[in-house]
Amino acid sequence: MKEIWTLAEFRCGSLNSISFELLNRGKELAKKLDAPLSSVIIGNNIKTEDINELIARGADKVYVVNDSHLEHFIVESYAKVLISLLKEFKPDIFFAAATTTGRTLMPYVAIKMKTGLTADCTGLDIEEGTGNLLQTRPAIGGNILATIKTPNTRPQMSTVRPHSMKPMAADESRKGEVIKREFIDDSSEVKTKFIKFLKDETQQVGIQDAKIIVAGGRGLGKAENFNALEELAEIFGGEVGASRDVVDKNWMTYPHQVGLSGKTVSPNLYMAIGISGAIQHIAGMQTSENIIAINNDPDAQIFKVADLGIIGDLNEILPPLIKGIKEYKKKEA
Ligand SMILES: Cc1cc2nc3c(=O)[nH]c(=O)nc-3n(C[C@H](O)[C@H](O)[C@H](O)COP(=O)(O)OP(=O)(O)OC[C@H]3O[C@@H](n4cnc5c(N)ncnc54)[C@H](O)[C@@H]3O)c2cc1C
């Protein structure tokens, strides 16, 4: 029986929502293969609620390895757990998020399992006829999208970009199977020592977690015009995003860049202002809940993905828009 596995991320006592994004991605694959969808959760102090949440969010089975030695992410220990599970249960497909954890752990495991891994996928699908996993990712500097297969070895492994999918909604009525395994400690095999957990403070711009993003492109004309976008983002309690062209022009810094060679975002509201909607930009924001585009070219590609399109000169649209929203907010307060 073919089975599809996803890696749930459990850190500091709670599940990362990326775990639910992976389940949403796995759902379609499972349907096409008529196979169960499972999550693997590794950590310490994993609670029944965490396991139940994975089931509610789409897992048919949850494999749990809960042990005090697994409190911190140590690649050798986590890999040992995964390899043992993979050898015992032999899933057909196994994928994780392309986070620091996924990018570190999955290649390590793939080498030990003597199987292939496609990193940083933007799309996963099932090939008709063979049932092989089709793993799509940008290649050659993002100029082409390559679809890669692992036809000869199992499991077929990949990491997928975070925020390239919405998290699976919870359905508390779902039932699932829970499979627990013990962690067998052998510290002599572990060369890595945990010293301290330090949060990365260098990534000050949190556009990937923002609920609202006000993004600007070359249509803004000059760096100073981003002040209006910063004002708008501040009113909304959001963040400022940017196209690659404005980052290349030094109007904005790289952590703000959205797209294929920047970040993938999925906010509730994405405002694309003076952005043409090149395929490389759209790849980074198309899963946004609501997209509003302002552009003076009625044929701009961005209007193809926009829920609301405003055709006109942003210099004429932005000042009254900001004024209007401010007045509305004042009345609401
Ligand atoms: C390998 C590779 C990776 C890439 N990665 C990324 C990426 O991660 N992110 C990304 O964004 N791009 C990326 N690109 C670049 C991408 O192809 C486009 O060049 C870029 O997105 C265009 O940026 P833009 O929309 O700001 O500029 P333009 O395409 O020049 O668009 C400007 C828009 O502003 C409009 N405009 C002009 N004046 C006004 C006005 N007064 N009022 C209203 N609208 C106005 C114009 O009609 C136009 O549609 C990548 C390209 C390659 C080859």
Q: Sign of dihedral through CA atoms 20, 199, 102, 105?
A: negative
Q: Which alpha helices (DSSP H) does the chain contain, by range?
A: 18-33, 48-56, 75-89, 100-112, 226-236, 244-248, 279-282, 302-305, 314-332
How far apart are the C-alpha atoms of 163 and 34, rounded to whole Å?
26
Q: How far is CA 313 from each of CA 212, 277, 296, 298, 317, rounded to the nearest angstrom?
A: 22, 16, 5, 11, 6
Ligand 1 closest atom vs CA 279: 17
- Ligand 1: distance of its center to the CA of 294 in Å? 13
Q: What is the pLDDT of residues 116-154, one digit of tens each?
A: 999 999 899 999 999 999 999 988 766 788 999 999 999
Contact 247, 215 (CB under 8 A): no
How far apart are the C-alpha atoms of 258 and 252, rounded to whole Å?
11
248 pocket-lining for ligand 1 (C-beta < 6 Å): no
pLDDT of residue 18: 92
pLDDT of residue 200: 64
Low-confidence ranges of the chain (pLDDT < 70): 141-142, 200-205
311 torsion bin: left (phi>0), alpha (psi -120 to 50), beta (else): beta
CATH number for the domain formed by residue range(s) 4-189? 3.40.50.620
Ligand 1 closest atom vs CA 221: 38
Ligand 1 closest atom vs CA 275: 25
138 pocket-lining for ligand 1 (C-beta < 6 Å): no
Contact 92, 154 (CB under 8 A): yes
Ligand 1 closest atom vs CA 261: 8
pLDDT of residue 204: 59
- Ligand 1: distance of its center to the CA of 46 in Å? 45
pLDDT of residue 142: 66
- Ligand 1: distance of its center to the CA of 242 in Å? 9
CATH number for the domain formed by residue range(s) 207-332? 3.40.50.1220
Ligand 1 closest atom vs CA 246: 26
Which pairs count as long-range contacts for 129-132, CB under 8 Å and 24+ apart, including other chains? 131/2, 131/33, 131/92, 132/156
274 pocket-lining for ligand 1 (C-beta < 6 Å): yes
Residue nearest to atom 26 of ligand 1 (CA): 217
Whether 4-189 shares its CATH topology with 207-332 is answered yes
155 pocket-lining for ligand 1 (C-beta < 6 Å): no
281 pocket-lining for ligand 1 (C-beta < 6 Å): yes
Polymer length in residues for the chain: 333
Domain boundaries, the chain: 4-189, 207-332
- Ligand 1: distance of its center to the CA of 262 in Å? 13
- Ligand 1: distance of its center to the CA of 279 in Å? 9
Closest by alpha carbon to 21, among 59, 65, 47?
59
pLDDT of residue 119: 95
pLDDT of residue 166: 82
